[in-house]
Amino acid sequence: MEAQPARTTPKPKRRWFQFRLATLLLLFAVFGVLLSLCIVPIGRYAEWVRVMRQTRTMIENARPSSSAAVNPVAWDGAHGWVLNAYANICASPEHVSTEEMYLLREDVQEKLTTASDFETLLWIWNRLGETGPAGKHYVTKFRPQFRYFLPSPGP
């Protein structure tokens, strides 16, 4: 009898991306952690922007309660300085924290529920001076320009 060659099964070809399940789960876990490191700061920034816009809208919509007693040119000038101060003091989360933005929003909202006049703008100006490290510097530096539009106190 002739010896027959031993039948060997061909070795299966190895695929490029063949992983164990544990390796795949580990990769997804690492990807999830890295993704959360990106998403959480974006969420915090979005929250800060939301509060900043709400406060800015309240200040923008401030109008004098009695338009007859208020010079419109003086109001527009003082109101413009308050908006400018707000934009410069609350420029980013690095300037003012989210917690401080919440406090500022609550304070401004409470103040604007009463009658609005130049005293209201002066109060907002002074409150901005208490907001963040740049607030006091900005308010002190530009106080003369802001006060120019405020009516002089009567005799």
What are the domain boundaries of the chain?
A: 25-60+72-148
The Cα 94–Cα 118 span in angstroms is: 30
pTM, two decimals, is 0.74
**pLDDT at position 14:** 66
Helices assigned H by DSSP within the chain: 21-60, 72-89, 98-112, 118-129, 132-148
Helix axis angle for 72-89 and 118-129, nearest 10°, is 20
Q: Which amino acid, 152?
A: S
* Spatial CA neighbour of 78 closest among 125, 129, 113: 125
The Cα 85–Cα 134 span in angstroms is: 10
**Residue 90: both structure tokens together:** 């609350």
Whether 93 contacts 43, CB under 8 Å: no
Name which residue leads in pLDDT, 53 or 114. Answer: 53
Asked whether residue 58 carries a pLDDT value surpassing 90, the answer given is yes
Question: How many other CB atoms are found less than 10 A from the CB of residue 95?
Answer: 16
Asked whether residue 22 carries a pLDDT value surpassing 90, the answer given is no
Question: How many other CB atoms are found less than 10 A from the CB of residue 116?
Answer: 21
Asked whether residue 6 carries a pLDDT value surpassing 60, the answer given is yes
**pLDDT at position 20:** 76
Name which residue leads in pLDDT, 51 or 12. Answer: 51
**pLDDT at position 116:** 86
pLDDT digits (tens, 9 = 90+) for 76-123: 999 999 999 999 999 999 899 999 999 999 999 999 998 888 999 999
Q: pLDDT category, 36, cuts 50, 70, 90?
A: confident
3-state secondary structure of 96: coil
Q: How far apart are the first and last CA of the chain?
A: 133
